[in-house]
Structure 1
Amino acid sequence: METYRKALLKAAVTGELTADWRRANPPQESGEQLLTRILANRRADGHITKKSQAGERVAEDDLPSLPESWIWCRNEQAGKIQLGRQRTPKDHSGPHMRPYLRVANVYEDRIDLSDVKQMNFTPTEFENFRLQQGDILLNEGQSLELVGRPAMFRGEVDACCFQNTLVRFQAGQYVDPDYALLTFLYGMHSGRFKRIAKITTNIAHLGAGRFAELGFPLAPLDEQLEAVRLYHAHMKRFETAISTLSAISVLRQSILAAAFRGELAV
């Protein structure tokens, strides 16, 4: 199951999964043109860093090849990246207590709400760190194997913020959040997050700056949506097949046991 999922994630974020769809729906621009257009729009909105504005590209080695209509850009060119707010003793109480998420709440592709803590956020801090539906949260500090573990916030907690043990990615105008989530799941399972992590006192740190510079496989928006659809359709069929095989195995064992007990004799 894990091997299949890892292979399917790679296929979804490198254009392999949507190859047939792409042939039936020829793109109207190259990946280079797509990125140029996106950067121009982000520059006009003021949502771009100096490095991205300068057009700096990904420095990673051995990145998978992409279709001509795709391009490797930087995570910070695909969306807004922000580290959460630090928790200090003075924030344990105050007039503006708010729930917040931390590493303990962010599992792979799911948010665990069994233990949501609160701390004081001033009105300005609340506006800065308030989670929005579609935000992707990644574990900033974790074990080396789990660093960068991502999940999407889907509005599970009202008026909720996040701590600096998490990195937030907010997808840009031409990036689908669900596609970005697949990209970051692939980043964790392929070891890309592990390779850029720094170890301090037995904890691996993703680093918001290092994560910002990591490559993002940018595809046309309509193809991103199709990649997400196909990924989930394939996973659903695979999980159904696994469940069917498990049921057949249980039935077979039951029949064999009945045969040994002589219950099948006519």
Structure 2
Amino acid sequence: MTPYLRSANVGNGHLALDDVKQMDFTPEERQRFRLQRGDVLVSEGSASHHAVGMASAWNEELRGDVCFQNTLLRYRSVPGVSDIGFALQWCRWAFESGAFRDAASGTNILHIGSTRARAMQVLLPPLRTQRRIVDVMAAVDEHVRSLTTEVENLAGVRAVHLASTYREFSETTPAIRLGDVLTEVKRPVVVEPSALYKQIGIRSHGRGVFTKEPVTGEGLGSKKVYWVEPGDLVINIVFAWEGAVAIVPTGVHGHCASHRFPTYQRADGGDVDFFRYYFSTQDGLSLLGDCSPGGAGRNRTLNRTRLLDSPVYLPEPAIQLRVIAEFRALEAALTALKGELNRLRSFRSVLLEALLNRDIEIPESYDALLEKVA
């Protein structure tokens, strides 16, 4: 059995190797599909327009022979023509600029295809220029990796601290009924057919609220909708088990949501953020899952009565406020770090395109530095 990589293993500039499949390859197949250091793998097809063409290099991260599946395209540099790292940078540009997407074809699933891939045009600079581009981009990529690690580490610290904090409450605080401190708030909308209505949705995994394009009352049809207000705790009852819980932010005014997005406020005057954080812990997610019977997906609808009848552990108000302040500070730091990472990634894309298009030229004097480092 030989391990092989498939589309699921290839991200934009990185490989996900925690789930590598194996299969039998004949000696001829192994020879044809075996990867070499520096090979660039490109996701050949995807149902998502944002995923087709994602590219990353193989650098022998796993020992022994590793092959690839035909759901991937393999690019390999040509000695004397292209630098070993240039193919990766060009493929990443082709993904980020949409060139791979534009070359792809298909209705439900886009496919690049080897024929269309070979037909794509490349503005190929001289080898010395390629090496300068590769070296500069390698330095930027290292910074991206370093900042990505910082984001992942801080997110890990936050998750562990959340889990241990709320687990401690369950061990030191008497249980109370959730419905005694959290109450559902309904603000029915009287729908007018010609009026415009702005709706919200809730992302899974605690990723917050998003707003939708306005629709007319006629477009709402027979759907019952309710006003939401900043500070409401909102749950998507279809994907509660997946952590679709959020607080309506202060900037969202005059929006509504369907009956699938019930809103809650504290009955005791406390801050609902305490429960938003709780529902992001494994214990909180388990409670939402236990209250969402069914198989999977849309068959798992939250039983709101069961949820409000469930036991929770609520410390004294002063402790709640301290915990909320701590996690808001961690959340703000994590948001700022993610923003810095996103800006760096955007800078990387702009810089790469400018280098490939020769809008920015790296001076020849840079070659002396490369030789010195080598």
Q: Decide: shared fold, TM above 0.5.
A: yes
Match in the other structure for 2:237 = 140
Counterpart secondary structure, 2:373 = coil
- 1:148-190 CA-partner distances (Å, limit 9, x unpaired): 4111012433222221111222112342122121112226764
Q: 1:116 to 1:215 in 2, by over 3 A?
A: farther
Residues 169-184 of structure 1 aligned to structure 2 (within 5 Å):
169-184=264-279
Cα separation, 1, equivalents of 2:250 and 2:165:
26
Query: Aligned ranges for residues 1-266 of structure 1 at < 5 Å?
Result: 1=152, 3-15=156-168, 64-65=170-171, 67=172, 70-81=173-184, 94=193, 97-103=196-202, 108-115=206-213, 117=215, 119=217, 129-142=226-239, 146=242, 148-186=243-281, 190-199=285-294, 202-203=297-298, 204-234=300-330, 261-264=370-373
Partners of 1:84 and 1:168 within 8 A in 2: no
1:228 alignment partner, SS class: helix
Q: 3-state SS of the aligned residue for 1:216?
A: strand
Q: Distance in 2 between matches of 1:215 and 1:260?
A: 65
Q: Name which structure has the greater RCO, CA cutoff 8 Å, separation 6+.
A: 1
> Structure 1: how far apart are the matches of 2:289 and 2:330?
27
Instruction: Give the Cα separation in 1 of the matches to 2:274 and 2:327.
Output: 10
Q: CA deviation at 1:75?
A: 1.8
CA drift of 1:219 comes to 1.6
Give distance in 2, aligned partners of 1:137 and 1:113: 13
Number of the residue aligned with 1:56? none
Q: Tell me the secondary structure at the aligned position of residue 232 of structure 1.
A: helix
130-139 or 187-196, which deviates more: 187-196
**Any idea what SS the aligned residue of 2:372 has?**
coil
Opposite residue 258 of structure 2, the aligned amino acid is: Q
Confirm or deny: 8 A CA contact 1:152 1:181 kept in the other structure: yes
Residue of structure 2 in register with 1:59 after alignment: none
Q: Partners in 2 of 1:164 and 1:84 — Cα distance?
A: 11
Aligned partner letter, 1:5: R
- Please tell me the residue identity of whatever aligns with 2:307: F
Does the C-alpha gap of structure 1 residues 161 and 171 become closer, same or farther in structure 2, counting only changes over 3 Å? Answer: same
Number of matched pairs: 191
Q: Per-residue deviation at 1:223?
A: 0.9
Q: Give how far 1:7 is off.
A: 2.0
Counterpart Cα distance in 2 of 1:94 and 1:241? 44
1:125-153 residue CA offsets vs partner (Å, 9 max, x unmatched)? 88xx32222111111002x851x411101
CA pair 9-85 structure 1, distance change in 2 beyond 3 A: farther
* DSSP 3-state at the match of 1:158: coil
- Judged with a 3 Å threshold, the aligned counterparts in structure 2 of structure 1 residues 74 and 95 are, in CA distance, closer, same or farther, namely farther
TM-score, normalising length from structure 1?
A: 0.55
SS at the partner of 1:226? helix
Q: How has the CA–CA distance of structure 1 residues 116 and 73 changed in structure 2, closer, same or farther, with 3 Å as cutoff?
A: farther
Superposed CA deviations along residues 166-217 of structure 1, whole A, max 9, x for unmatched, are 1222112342122121112226764221222122684121121122122322
Residue 206 of structure 1 aligns to a residue whose secondary structure is coil
Letter paired with 1:77: D
Matched letter for residue 177 of structure 2:
R
- Give yes or no for contact 1:149–1:185 (8 Å, CA) kept in 2: no
RMSD of the alignment, in Å?
4.2
Give SS of 1:157's match: coil
Residue identity matched to 1:222:
A
Structure with max Cα Rg: 2
Stretch moving more, 216-225 or 184-193: 184-193
Task: Quote the sequence identity (%).
Answer: 12
Alignment-mate amino acid for residue 313 of structure 2: P
Once the two structures are TM-superposed, the CA of residue 118 in structure 1 deviates from its matched residue by 5.2
Partner secondary structure for residue 191 of structure 1? helix
Could you tell me how far apart the structure 2 residues matched to 1:238 and 1:106 are? Answer: 18
Verify the 8 A CA contact 2:197 2:214 in the aligned structure 1: no
* CA distance in 2: counterparts of 1:102 and 1:73, whole angstroms: 30
TM-score for the superposition, normalised by structure 2: 0.41
Provide closer, same or farther for how the CA distance between residues 10 and 159 of structure 1 changes in structure 2, counting only shifts above 3 A.
Answer: same
CA distance in 2, matches of 1:201, 1:4: 30
Pick closer, same or farther for the CA change 1:156–1:239 going to 2, 3 Å. Answer: closer
SS at match of 2:268: coil
**CA distances 1:88-107 after superposition (whole Å, capped 9, x unpaired):** xxx6x62555323345x677
